[in-house]
Amino acid sequence: MSRVGVIGVGHGTFGRRSDATVQELAFEAFRMAMKDAAIERSVLDASVIAAVPEYHKQRSVAGVVQEYLNLNPLPTWLTEVACASGSAAMRTAWMAIRSGLHDVVAVIGCQKMTEMETAEILALMGRVGEVQWESVFGTTFPGYYAMFANRHMHEFGTTHDQMLAVAEKNHYYGARNPNALFRKEITREKAVASDPVSSPFCVYDCCANADGAACLILAKDEVAKELSKKPIWLDGVGCATASMSVLRRPNLVGLPSAQEASKQAYGMADVTAADIKVAEVHDCFTIAEIMAYEDLGFCEKGRGGAFIDDRQSYIGGKVAVNVDGGLKAKGHPIGATGVSMAYEIVRQLRGECGERQVPDADVGLTHNVGGIGQYTFVHVFKRD
């Protein structure tokens, strides 16, 4: 079967983008990706748009984005699996190319989060959990992940200080990313003094909503080699699901969907966790990154806190994780996040990240979680 290569990438600035509509955000990233790939629109066969429509005033977001990008009458469609929508769009494009249906596909993740009030967003996110038995009792995203954090602390002795070490690392790298929402380093002392959110979390344990967009151009093997001197290959794709209700999960110290998705992606790409040089993981909350270290096999179960304490997820450690700032510092425009992760990995494998560059990066990974682990996508990228 033909490999699928990434031949172009683009990324806008994440933040409170009152200067742009969702389609303008999409165009910002699309234009960069097309320039990066050095191709014209006529080369494209289709587009896949990733967005969560509930957050937009506009319904059928794919249609307005496709029109604004002047891509009609090419086929387009929308993917939505909560916060993993961007990775779902990439998997969909990968399948379309591998099937032989299309040769070159644009994947665009875009989201306007700030058209709604925070209370409305919290209510929407709370309903990602099971509506019948959980969200009716007032569940929120911070509340769900706080349960994971408390259980991890109980079973393994993980500390809140270790969680805030994740925030400190990600803000350190986010300060060096011009596309990030937060571009300032923080101290552990400042983090721990921030307002409480949901015990044990304080403000600096939590990522922030943002507006933004990112874009990838994917192409089949022979076309990628013809069009690009530096294709990055999407060689492993894994996807798995878990119960909507966290009460039916086997435990609250990891995501079974992430564990299964990583096995699939590693097997398809013929790599192990030890081969990954740089990773983008879904750090919606600090405990989520610690659980990801364990779920992805970077360290043993229960050792995630020690992993960050020992700086093993910094550049120079065992595997560099979220060196673009992650969701924590970069921001989380949910439809764009998975594509943004892939953008960072592609540029790392090309050696284009300047002071954030991971030395000798030849294999990278993205880990993108939808909901509270109901959906997880793991993608493995390689360079020749």
Give the largest Cα separation in the chain, rounded: 57
235: part of which helix (H) or strand (E)? strand 232-241
Which residues does 223 contact at the CB level (< 8 Å), separation at least 6? 103, 104
Indicate if the alpha-carbon torsion angle 145, 172, 17, 282 is positive or negative: negative
**Catalytic-residue membership of 332:** yes
Pairing of strands 104-111, 201-202: unpaired
What is the bridge-based pairing of β-strands 212-220 and 4-11?
A: antiparallel
Out of 160, 282, 332, 379, the active site residue is 332
* Whole-angstrom Cα Rg for the chain: 19
In Å, how far are 30, 69, 213, 368 from 23, measured between CA atoms? 10, 8, 9, 23
Annotated catalytic residue within 83, 206, 207, 239? 83
- Confirm whether 353 is a catalytic residue: no
Cα distance between residue 132 and residue 150, in whole Å? 24
Residue 31 has which token pair? 């234009």
Residues tagged active-site: 83, 332
